[in-house]
Structure 1
Amino acid sequence: MVVMKMKFPFQKRVKLAQGLWLLSWCATVAGATTFTLGCLLKTELRRRAEVMDNTDIHIVPNTLMIVGLASLGINYFASKICQDALDAGRFPRWKNFLKPYFAVSCFFTVLMLLAVIMSYAMKGSLESSLKAGLRNGIRFYKDTDTPGRCFQKQNIDRLQMEFQCCGNNDFRDWFEVQWISNRYLDFSSKEVKDRIKSNVDGRYLVDGVPFSCCNPRSPRPCIQYRLTNNSAHYNYDYQTEELNIYLRGCREALVNYYMGLMNTIGAGVLSVFLLQASVLVSLRFLQTAMEAVAGKENTEIETEGYLLEKGVKETMMEYLNPVLTFLLLKNQVQEGEETTPGPATT
């Protein structure tokens, strides 16, 4: 059953080819934009690599860069096909090329749609990655003399100041780790000895936070230590002093930032997907309309174009059958090699 059959007089075919040529170049620019957006997202993710525990989230920018580059090639050939479509003598040379071209184009167009879906669906993976990465970043904050962690303190401090956040979940995360290096502790002090002895792991824990947690909008000088001790500070109640330090955790701040960025990119790539799909649909109509002209002297006759010559299921199987046959033959060859007996020994 033919899907979406339409009649195309000569003038309509010419207008379709001209409009499609312009549309294909617009899609080429959109493909370059998609590649650029993928690079931008990749760069932003790599900037915070020290507070991310895995690289699964990079599948989104990697996919965007791949489909962006593929879109450049797909639409370049689409523009060339449109130019030759105006010449019935030159168009037949694309006949053997168009079937694999449409298969590859549809694959990358679907991949573009998957990239859009992933950009909205990666919140869970992003959150778990940041949770583990920030936990390790806070834990190694004091290791400024350890190779590979020398800039951990600097990175965490910049992160907290830039995103106006404190800790992983909140500022209390700093209470659970020793974030002051031993080289800056006076071990002859009774207070330091008592704090270390009071801890099972022998760590120096304080109810304080680094300076980067301080909120510059606070009307009073920042209180970094004894945050939960109201009697240690004059006119102080830690439950109401909201401006003293940042109360929002850095995981929440980073998730909101990256999801906002990916959702914005996803919306842009979705519009590129629709543009790319329009190019492929229009090109398919142009191809089928021009096939009826091939080999005829009168090229100005009315022809019919269609989207699919058969139903959707039959068309999909037509493209999948060669692949399935190849995989089946490959498996049979491997099984034959495994069951072939070795040379007899005496």
Structure 2
Amino acid sequence: ILNTNKQTLHYSLAGGVVMAVGVWTLVLKSDYISLLSSKTYAASAYILVLAGVIVMVTGVLGCCATFKEQKRLLRYFILLLCIFLLEILAGVLAYIYYQQLNDELKQNLKKTMTDEYNQTNSEHITKAVDKLQQEFKCCGSNSSADWAESVYIRSGAKGRKVPDSCCKTITNMCGIRDHPSNIYKVEGGCITKLENFILDHLKIIGAVGVGIACVQIIGMVFTCCLYRNLKAEPY
């Protein structure tokens, strides 16, 4: 029983790790999710959160089952199977999106930034773009020249040539001057920075999903063996 409880405790800890990765992606990196047209990245994170919760619940049920030796509780094998499928799904989605990300960003990021920045009901996009340009020290999707096509800049923007978030040192109206000494001029623009950032996180999501799923295979085998042993015992 002691070894079994240790095993279920390990599952609970693994569930905490899975859930933490999902929550970290959704909460701390949620601004960038709004810049993506596809929901696959967010879906992978939500799946990890759900799988993590189920793993932790399963760990508790496993402890109860082995401590009380109630055979019916060992049927939580079905939960282990659900977790396994969810984590594999998260890993597969991350892999698929990994292959599609470059094309998506090329097709949509520039349009999102130029059409929706500082527009009505697009505050989340504005916040995400400002954070993107400041955090990654870049300006525009492909280059700072992209902002010349922006609805915000073309409408006047009080004389700005780029948003103030392009500036190396942000001050009010600093976007009026688009000289390299004042704004970020990064080769490849923000699209390259954002792509590398998301690709790194997709690797983490995929690795965690598939890695924990492999551990769950051991858990399912262990549960089946334990269930059969208890089933063989007389009441």
TM-score (norm 2): 0.77
Q: 1:106 to 1:151 in 2, by over 3 A?
A: closer
Asked if 1:165 corresponds to 2:138, the answer is: yes
Query: Percent of aligned pairs with the same residue?
Result: 20
How far 1:274 sits from its partner (Å)?
Answer: 3.0
Instruction: Verify the 8 A CA contact 2:141 2:189 in the aligned structure 1.
Output: yes
Instruction: Verify the 8 A CA contact 2:51 2:83 in the aligned structure 1.
Output: yes
How far 1:70 sits from its partner (Å)?
Answer: 0.9
Instruction: Verify the 8 A CA contact 2:148 2:154 in the aligned structure 1.
Output: no
Asked if 1:34 corresponds to 2:18, the answer is: yes
Q: Structure 1: which amino acid aligns with 2:178? A: Q
Mapping 1:69-84, distance limit 5 Å: 69-84=53-68
- Counterpart of 1:156 (choices 129, 133, 158) is 129
Structure 1 residue matching 2:37: 3-state secondary structure? coil
Q: 1:276 to 1:148 in 2, by over 3 A?
A: same
Mapping 1:64-103, distance limit 5 Å: 64-84=48-68, 91=69, 93-94=70-71, 96-99=72-75, 101-103=76-78
Mapping 1:98-137, distance limit 5 Å: 98-99=74-75, 101-127=76-102, 130=105, 131-137=107-113
Instruction: Verify the 8 A CA contact 2:74 2:223 in the aligned structure 1.
Output: no
Rg (Cα) greater in structure:
1
Structure 2 residue matching 1:247: 3-state secondary structure? coil
Separation in structure 2 between the aligned mates of residue 71 and residue 176 of structure 1, nearest angstrom: 49
Match in the other structure for 1:252: 192
Cα deviation digits, residues 238-279 of structure 1 (max 9, x gap): xxx9x9711232222112112212312432344432333222
Q: 1:57 to 1:152 in 2, by over 3 A?
A: closer
Mapping 1:16-31, distance limit 5 Å: 17-31=1-15
RMSD: 3.3
Question: Which structure is higher in helix share?
Answer: 2
Separation in structure 2 between the aligned mates of residue 168 and residue 121 of structure 1, nearest angstrom: 23
Separation in structure 2 between the aligned mates of residue 80 and residue 159 of structure 1, nearest angstrom: 47
Q: Structure 2: which amino acid aligns with 1:275? A: V
Bigger RCO (CA 8 Å, 6+ sep): 1
Structure 2 residue matching 1:284: 3-state secondary structure? helix
Match in the other structure for 1:307: none
Structure 1 residue matching 2:86: 3-state secondary structure? helix
Separation in structure 2 between the aligned mates of residue 285 and residue 260 of structure 1, nearest angstrom: 38
How far 1:103 sits from its partner (Å)?
Answer: 2.8
- Counterpart of 1:182 (choices 153, 156, 159) is 156
Instruction: Verify the 8 A CA contact 2:137 2:184 in the aligned structure 1.
Output: no
Q: Structure 1: which amino acid aligns with 2:137? A: Q
Separation in structure 2 between the aligned mates of residue 151 and residue 69 of structure 1, nearest angstrom: 28
Instruction: Verify the 8 A CA contact 1:57 1:126 in the aligned structure 2.
Output: no
Separation in structure 2 between the aligned mates of residue 97 and residue 134 of structure 1, nearest angstrom: 53
TM-score (norm 1): 0.55
Asked if 1:294 corresponds to 2:220, the answer is: no
How far 1:29 sits from its partner (Å)?
Answer: 1.6
Q: Which moved more, 1:280-289 or 1:61-70?
A: 280-289
How far 1:290 sits from its partner (Å)?
Answer: 3.1
Gaps of 5+ in 1: 1-16, 85-90, 186-205, 217-222, 228-240, 296-346
Q: Structure 1: which amino acid aligns with 2:193? A: A
How far 1:138 sits from its partner (Å)?
Answer: 2.2
Q: 1:273 to 1:246 in 2, by over 3 A?
A: same
